[in-house]
Structure 1
Amino acid sequence: MLPNSNLFVPRIWDFCKRSNASGVIYNHCIALHKRYYRMWGKHLNCAKLQSHIAKLRKRNPLWQSVGFQAVQDICQRIEKAYQLFFKHYKKGVRSPGFKKVRKYKSFTLKQAGYKFLGGNRVHIGNRVYQFCKSREIEGTVKTLTIKRTPLGELFMVVFVDNTVDLEINSTPSKIAGFDFGLKVFLTCSDGSRIESPQFFKQSLNAIKKASIHHSKKLKGSWNRERARKNLVRKHEDIYNRRRDWFWKLAHSLTLKFDVLCFETLNLKGMQRLWGRKISDLAFGEFLQILKWVAKKKNKLVVFVDRWYPSSKTCSNCGHILESLDLSVREWRCQHCQSVNGRDENAAKNIQAVGASTVELGDVSRVVPAITV
């Protein structure tokens, strides 16, 4: 399933109405779940909920503006959220709750409710809409999702079933290990370093000014709404610039290396310790983009266990220190007397362990490329 995205729909008011209706249905379903649990002490079955909502939909003209499959998708979203809650509630995951109707983001149409008419026209419900196509839609369309941004802009995301046979890469494999850091975004095992632009830090003053400007406006006024949109634009600019840098970095790394090794990190724990800096680096988002690009280019991304002492292990002789404070950036091995930089040493160890994980053996030896 591959996404084809960015379709701008000019009839904003019509789709905002449907998004609001989807938010009302979502909140009603959440209320039914909570009421059912209070009465019976059990979880409400998704099939029963869909059947009940289908009956209510026939009596409510506002709900009828949302396709019946979109209503089913809302029930399925809530079911997935509850299943994640039952599975991970000990880790602090909360049960799904009510959402503001104006902020409800999207609704999804599956097999019915839409039809592409060719060119840049699509038939949704009883109307035909024009859109701006970011790229050609290749493959069988599976679902169509209308998304609403905080600025009120609408985008249409099309998921297609596009099976492409990937060519096997027969070139010699190049493997590298990477260590994630706070001061340096990535330290590579070949000695190179990749500095993070820290986009949020660059725009922090502009964000503060826009936030103060928004807080001083009267609630419910048009001036406050304009100030809110200005603040949202500042955040969207940071988001877009960061993702653009991530995509370019992912393409450059996959062009240079065939196997990329990373350490599995507890990013939520790191965020509790260092807060905004970890959020600004957005390492988890970068890994998602990198894995997608690597799969498209037939490259391999390997993850090393988080408990492996990559920083405390000497990359030359394998001697492991008993303890290593975070403030120590360079240390001398007591066994072989080699001087190890903390990040460079960790990257080399991650490279070696990643090579053994995929059975590449000696990382200095040229071997055939591993394919996904």
Structure 2
Amino acid sequence: MILGFKTQLKVNQKQQIVLAQHAGTARHAYNQGLALCKEVLKHNRANPDDKIKFPSAIDLHKWLVASIKVSCPWYYEVSKCVGQYALRNLSDAFKCFFKKVKGFPNFKKKGRNDSFTLDGSIHVDHRRVKVPVIGWIKTYERLPHVIKPKSVTVSRQADSWFISFKIEVEPSHSPKPVDFVGVDLGINHLATLSTGEVFDGAKSYKKYKKKLARMQWLNRRKQIGSANHRKATQSVAKLHLKVANIRKDTLHKITTHISKNHVVIGIEDLNLSGMMANRKLAKAIADMGFYEFRRQLEYKTHLYGSKLVVVDRFYPSSKTCSNCGTKKESLSLKERVFICEHCHFECDRDLNASINLKQAARLVVSACGLDSADTSRLKQEENISNC
């Protein structure tokens, strides 16, 4: 199984300058290629009878060597892979645009998502990595044992530099104490399991909201382009990174626990774009990280030998009684306790929904030809697809 590994680099001031030069060169090559592509599209739109072939990644690199590198000799101070991968990423962005998967590519701005990719002579040691031109770079943590990655990507977040590459790991098939479990996501509690376990979210943005607003207010009062404005902007970015790291750490701990201890996990296919349209709940939903929760579960279930069943979003898990199956016509968000009018069953709203998701996951497994007694074989079976 191929996974991505990302860790922070321990760089000195000289290495920071070299890394910034590589990121700046990649950004310049990307922007120059994007400007040329926009001119080609503009020409083809104005002259439909005299169309020019849209440039590929190879065409863009040939043009970069012939036209741009001649007037910009600082391109030769960094690795040649920087411009190649930048133009390759631009070509992939246009392919997604033409397929209507993503929007039109935008110009990159300095200090926002700075990154570059390198390949060639790359060596990974215990706590350091050797990359072309830059040399050995130390890391804060011990690196996994890999033979030799084909390429690495170096990125910057706030004032920290990170390196990422692909590693191959063997899936774990350890025994799990629980066969089926339903997971209901919410705002009060991030995850409520059908077993009764409740996991609270980090709510890191809510914790640092006032401090972040204060720092942003102070940043607005500084002159744009000054040293104080640059320092204040970096402080805001560091706080944003801290908030994101706290949220990711909480999500990783919860999803790892769920994946390691349950064979079949049932969750609901939430309409996150529709939920985010609610201006009263959008901030709280984003602070919980529902999308990241599902994304981590999708690959960790493969990693730890469990299965993820995604129940249809129109399945009324909250309105259905988990005891008798009676469905309510309406259920407001204020009602935190589910009370069935048919069998007088009382249960916590989120717990009731998680039990219904567990039952739905059991039905999917039965439809695939396996009984509940055969769930121990799920780690060897591959006939259950992610629904």
Q: Which residue of 2 aligns with 1:79?
A: 91
Q: 1:173 to 1:123 in 2, by over 3 A?
A: closer
CA distance in structure 1 between the aligned counterparts of 2:342 and 2:128, rounded to whole angstroms: 70
Structure 2 counterparts to residues 227-306 of structure 1, below 5 A: 227-273=232-278, 274-306=281-313
1:141 matches 2:155: no
Q: Which residue of 2 aligns with 1:18?
A: 22
CA distance in structure 2 between the aligned counterparts of 1:240 and 1:227, rounded to whole angstroms: 20
Q: Which residue of 2 aligns with 1:218?
A: 223
Structure 2 counterparts to residues 148-167 of structure 1, below 5 A: 148-151=156-159, 153-160=160-167, 162=168, 164=170, 166=171
Superposed CA RMSD: 2.8
Q: Normalising by structure 2, report the TM-score.
A: 0.83
Query: SS of the residue aligned with 1:134?
Result: coil
Number of corresponding residues = 364
Query: SS of the residue aligned with 1:367?
Result: helix
Structure 2 counterpart of 1:230, which letter? Answer: S
Q: Which residue of 2 aligns with 1:9?
A: 11
1:121-154 CA-partner distances (Å, limit 9, x unpaired):
6554445333226223423312111112222x32
8 A Cα contact 2:365 2:371, kept in partner: no
Which 5+ residue runs of structure 1 have no aligned equivalent?
A: none
CA positional deviation for 1:287: 2.4
8 A Cα contact 2:184 2:193, kept in partner: yes
Q: Normalising by structure 1, report the TM-score.
A: 0.86
CA distance in structure 1 between the aligned counterparts of 2:134 and 2:259, rounded to whole angstroms: 44
Structure 1 counterpart of 2:301, which letter? Answer: A
8 A Cα contact 1:22 1:66, kept in partner: no
Query: SS of the residue aligned with 1:174?
Result: strand
CA positional deviation for 1:363: 8.8
Q: 1:343 to 1:120 in 2, by over 3 A?
A: closer
1:193-242 CA-partner distances (Å, limit 9, x unpaired):
22223111111121122112212222222222222222222222212222
CA distance in structure 2 between the aligned counterparts of 1:177 and 1:300, rounded to whole angstroms: 12
CA distance in structure 1 between the aligned counterparts of 2:98 and 2:335, rounded to whole angstroms: 41
Q: Which residue of 1 aligns with 2:48?
A: none
**Identity value in percent:** 26
Please, which moves more after superposition, 269-278 or 129-138? 129-138
Structure 1 counterpart of 2:213, which letter? Answer: K
Q: 1:30 aligned to 8, 31, 34, which one?
A: 34
Structure 2 counterparts to residues 199-214 of structure 1, below 5 A: 199-214=204-219
Which 5+ residue runs of structure 2 have no aligned equivalent?
A: 46-52, 383-387
CA distance in structure 1 between the aligned counterparts of 2:165 and 2:178, rounded to whole angstroms: 35
Q: 1:63 aligned to 66, 75, 81, which one?
A: 75
8 A Cα contact 2:338 2:347, kept in partner: yes
CA positional deviation for 1:22: 0.9
8 A Cα contact 1:313 1:321, kept in partner: yes
Q: Which residue of 2 aligns with 1:350?
A: 357
Q: Which residue of 2 aligns with 1:367?
A: 375
CA positional deviation for 1:36: 0.9
Structure 2 counterpart of 1:106, which letter? Answer: S
8 A Cα contact 1:85 1:95, kept in partner: yes
8 A Cα contact 2:259 2:301, kept in partner: yes
